[in-house]
Structures are given as C-alpha cells and as structure tokens.
Amino acid sequence: MAFSIGAGTTTEFISEEFKSLDLNDCRLDKRAKLILGKLQQKLGSCIRRLFTDNREARQAYDFFF
C-alpha cells in the first residue's frame, strides 16, 4: 500500500520506516522509536523540551551517549 506524504500518524510512520531497526536489544529499539517519534512531532526542538519528565530526558540523553 502506497502512502502519500502526510498520511497516517507519526507512530505509524516511525514503525514502518524503522521496522528493520535492530540494536540487539528490544528495549533500545523501542526507545529509539520513541525518541524519533518525539523529535518528529516538534522538529527543531531540543530533548529537554520534548521530554519534560526528568527520567525520560535522562534516558534520551543516555541513548545517544
């Protein structure tokens, strides 16, 4: 099924685009998709503004480091 630009939700887009993502840990795969989804919702925003919960922000920073 072909999707036009803008069709579907961000979650559907991330799931489809990164369905073959394999970081050798399903938790890391899930976290990567969560972070990408948040970044897609507010392009140009920083992690601190996307994740208002301190624990989630720390997990996002840790993912990249």
> Is the separation of the CB atoms in 6 and 34 below 8 Å?
no
- What pLDDT band is residue 64 in, cutting at 50, 70 and 90? confident
Minimal CA–CA distance to 38: which of 7, 11, 65? 11
How do residues 4-60 score in pLDDT, each as one tens digit? Answer: 555 567 788 888 888 888 899 889 999 999 888 888 888 888 888 888 889 999 998
Contact 41, 54 (CB under 8 A): no
Contact 18, 53 (CB under 8 A): no
> For residue 58, what are the CA distances in angstroms to 13, 27, 36, 54, 61?
25, 15, 15, 6, 5
Looking at the chain, which runs of residues are DSSP E strands? none
